[in-house]
Amino acid sequence: MKELVERIRREGKALGNGILKVDGFVNHQVDAVLMDACGREFARRFAGVGATKVLTAEISGIAPALTTALHLGLPVVYARKTKPITMPDTVLLTVAPSHTKGVITELIVSPEYLGSGERVLIIDDFLASGATIMGLVRLAQTAGATIVGIGTLIEKSFEGGRAALAPLGVLVESLAVIKSMEGDKIVFDE
């Protein structure tokens, strides 16, 4: 998606160790109009998969997942990283390593909002190693739901996430694909 690629080219910063800083429009400050355009584009690409729910992980997946859900007219569920007191005692929980934070995080979904029969479209900000997304996949599968597609804003194709997701056999779409980051140079796959 040209608009997102151009924005990363202009404002994204490679910080080394595969870390891409997009805090000015995705991760801390969010360009709402750009996120809405990304949501519209995801809705277009996944129009045919018959999704009944969008699933993401807090925190930075929320913005693109929300705008995608809006354009598809679907609810969105975000997996929590800590269990709030409003959640039932028994939950769906998995763990996923966070590449950028170097820690293991929990992903928690209430069984109230993810059940068998759901057709789940996963949306997140980044596809890197695919570990967070595979965590969301496990939660959905444990709930008896079916994964029907996976969309991410930015794919770092040199980190192997697409290969990790391939066995799922679903449509995987990224709006900007980065094939290498060396020093401060960001190279897109266009």
Span from 21-29, 124-132, 152-160, 166-174 in contact with a second copy (CB under 8 A)? 21-29
Residue from 4, 8, 51, 62 in contact with a second copy (CB under 8 A): 62
Span from 28-36, 135-143, 150-158, 174-182 in contact with a second copy (CB under 8 A)? 28-36
Q: Which is nearer to a second copy, 25 or 46 (CB)?
A: 25
Instruction: Give the span between the Cα atoms of 8 and 43, in whole angstroms.
Output: 21
Please, what is the minimum distance in Å from the beta carbon of residue 103 to a second copy?
10
SS3 category, 164: helix
Side-chain-side CA neighbours of residue 166 (13 Å): 5
Residues 6+ apart with CB under 8 A from 179: 157, 158, 187, 188, 189
Q: Does 58 bind a second copy (CB under 8 A)?
A: yes
Cβ-count burial of 39 within 10 angstroms (0-12 exposed, 13-18 middle, 19+ buried)?
buried
Binding to a second copy (CB under 8 A) within 111-150 occurs at 112-113
Size of the site for a second copy (CB under 8 A): 41
Nearest to 50 by CA among 146, 133, 155: 146
Which residues would be at the binding site for a second copy (CB under 8 A)?
15, 19, 21, 23-25, 27-33, 35-36, 54, 58-59, 62-63, 66-67, 69-70, 73-78, 80, 84-87, 100-101, 109-110, 112-113
